[in-house]
Amino acid sequence: MKTPAAKGNFVRRKTDYLWMLVILGGMIAAGEYFFPERSKPEDLVAFRNLYDVFGVEDKYGPVAKWVLWWLITSISMNSITWAMFLYFLKKDPANTSKVHLWDQAKVILVNFAQLPIAQVVWDILEQNGYTKATMGNTDPISIIRDCCLWMLCFEWAWYFQHRGMHDNKFLWKLGHSYHHGWNRPEHMIGITNFAFDHIVEFWVTMSSSFLGYLLFPSNFFVGKAISLFYMVLAVLAHWEGFEGSRYHINHHYLVTKNYGSHIPIFDMLFGTYQWEPYTHSESLKNKKDKLK
């Protein structure tokens, strides 16, 4: 696609959304043609057995089981995120600011209470056969294929919705503008990714994670592992000490570039990609130059 002359670093074409929907239609068609089956009955039984930790469901009922899983998920997400922050602080204390730590922590505590709720709802749907998750697909070729398809779906969903939050003023004001309040080097302390609003970005994060399971098969354990991997990358993407963070940190500085999550396939396709380093001082200089 030909990129029009940019206004500064800005690219906005409404037709891009039509092409994104065409891509989604292609993924849906491919999923139904090549992988038409949902989870098999034996898979569903295995899923239920995995979630019944210590036989809680038999003793106290299904509600108790899911409350336990919500608690386990919440503790796990908090532990991983804060452990990574402490690692940043120890490894590079000079460049790991704590100035805004409490403000971000308050939001994170709320989000890490509600994100596991979405995960529990999804696990319930998974156990009732609404996804294509499986206990099979354990050979190396299937694992690689399924991981690639999951990442493709995640990157599409993230790019489509993330760019929409920038192009649509209502969605921007409803929540995403809050996340972009953390846009300077002293904000980039790794945990920034989870210091977002409680509505819009909550949906974007979880829907992007789940889309791949609806369209394509994935081994249950492989799916959990790649979701965890993406969560860790989301933390690292907001830490300037991480070599691969430039892609997303550029988004915070440039705002209308690099809408993707971790792989810039759709940014490259729609002309919104920039890898070259772009620092906050350069951003301020450009703004001053425009005012002259």
The band of 3, judged by pLDDT with boundaries at 50, 70 and 90, is very low
Position 282 pLDDT exceeds 60: no
Comparing 240 with 218, the larger pLDDT belongs to 218
Q: Which residues face 219 on adjacent strands?
A: 134
Position 177 pLDDT exceeds 60: yes
Residue 147: predicted pLDDT: 94
46-67 pLDDT tens trace = 988 888 877 888 888 888 989 9
With b for 16 or more beta-carbon neighbours within 10 A and e for fewer, the 167-196 pattern comes to beeebbeebbebbeebbeeebbbbbbbbbb
What's the rounded mean pLDDT across residues 97-120?
A: 83
With b for 16 or more beta-carbon neighbours within 10 A and e for fewer, the 220-242 pattern comes to bebbeebbeebbebbbbbbbbeb
Q: Kindly state the percentage of the chain with pLDDT values over 90.
A: 35
Residue 202: predicted pLDDT: 79
Provide the whole-model pTM.
Answer: 0.85
114-153 pLDDT tens trace = 888 888 889 999 989 999 999 999 999 999 999 999 999 9
34/117 Cα distance (integer angstroms): 32
Angle in degrees, 0-180, between the axes of helices 41-51 and 220-236, rounded to the nearest 10: 60
Write down the domain spans for the chain.
Answer: 15-291
Comparing 9 with 28, the larger pLDDT belongs to 28
Comparing 281 with 183, the larger pLDDT belongs to 183
Residue 171: predicted pLDDT: 85
Residue 84: predicted pLDDT: 86
Residue 186: predicted pLDDT: 62
219-276 pLDDT tens trace = 999 988 999 899 888 888 887 777 778 888 888 888 888 999 999 999 999 999 987 7
